[in-house]
Amino acid sequence: MIKLGEWQELVIVKKVDFGIYLAPSAQEKEERILLPAKQTPEGSEIGDRVEVFVYRDSKDRMIATTNAPKLVMGQVAELSVVQVGKIGAFLDWGLEKDLFLPYRQQKRRVAPGDKVLVSLYIDKSGRICATTNVYENLRSDSPYKKDDRVRGRVYEISDNFGAFVAVDNQYSALIPKRELYGEVLPGEDVEARVTEVLEDGRLTLSIREKAYLQLERDGEKLLRLLDSYDGVLPFTEKADPEVIRRETGMSKNEFKRAVGHLLKTGAVEIKDKIIRYSTGNN
């Protein structure tokens, strides 16, 4: 059986001026596809086996190629958007016919020049298409261990679970909701720390440092924020959590810990529902 979107070894069953016809076996009479003459290995004869990739041409006919695509079935790859049309986008995957990414398979709308992380699937009409639903094709055999630093692409945000990340564009990982810090958006690359390697090999990540390091970082961030407010922050840790998150990118608890740290060091003081630089430091 000839498989779309995969490399496979097929047998030459017929030679013509414009190429060779390939089939799964020499006895196959019905299922055969063309490998164009410009890609036919020199000296090929009937009965020889040829390794090819199978996709559909511009007329939706199954065709073989010896050119290597940037993505095959079951893998994940980052591809460039070359064009956007009425029903979707078209991606460069290294073959003559661009790869179609339907709008319904996009986690976010893409534009020409964007780089998008995708996998392949066969649609109802038997065409190879791209999808940004890459979860099932991400690997769980990463070389990383607890406390390693990693980099990955956020490909989905879940209100219930957090941010799904493809580490190195190939390994499955999750930043749990409790570990999200600041604004994290689909399509962004993040640097994170491995907090756990699950039994199935998938990674749990945090974009926050270890507690003592994060406390220092949050404190420095608050001091920079104070500078932007001319030394007086017009709210305290008693403010609405949404106000705190909008203005600082921190949760209320994170903000309280950072303020407490700065109070302890004497850098700031709280008076009349505001936070300001300590008068003792002036």
CATH label of the domain that carries residue 277: 1.10.10.10
> Which residue, chain included where needed, has tokens 């491995």?
194
Type of residue numbered 186: P
Asked if 86 contacts 37 with a C-beta cutoff of 8 angstroms, the reply is: no
Q: What is the dihedral of CA 73, 75, 79, 84, to 10 degrees?
A: 50
Domains contained in the chain, number: 4
pLDDT tens readout for residues 16-61: 999 999 999 988 777 899 999 999 999 889 999 999 999 998 888 9
Q: Which residue has the tokens 């903000």?
A: 255
Same-domain pairing of 55 and 85: no
Full domain range(s) for residue 38: 7-65
Rounded-to-integer distance, Cα 177 and Cα 122, Å:
33
Residues 82 and 57 in one domain: no
Over its length of 282 residues, how does the chain's per-residue pLDDT go in tens digits?
Answer: 899 999 999 999 999 999 999 999 988 777 899 999 999 999 889 999 999 999 998 888 999 999 999 999 999 999 999 999 999 999 999 999 999 999 999 988 999 999 999 999 999 989 999 999 999 999 999 999 998 999 999 999 998 999 999 999 999 999 998 887 667 888 889 889 999 999 999 999 988 755 455 667 778 888 888 888 888 888 888 888 888 878 887 777 778 888 887 888 888 888 878 888 887 654
Say yes or no: 224 and 257 in one domain: yes
The verdict on residue 1 lying in a domain is no
**Is the same domain home to 116 and 170?**
no
Residue 2 lies in a domain: no
* 102-128 pLDDT, tens digit each: 999 998 899 999 999 999 999 998 999
272 assigned to some structural domain: yes
One domain, residues 232 and 180: no
- 178: domain CATH number is 2.40.50.140
pTM of this structure: 0.71
Q: Where are the beta strands (DSSP E) in 85-207?
A: 88-92, 99-102, 115-122, 128-131, 149-158, 162-167, 171-176, 189-197, 203-206
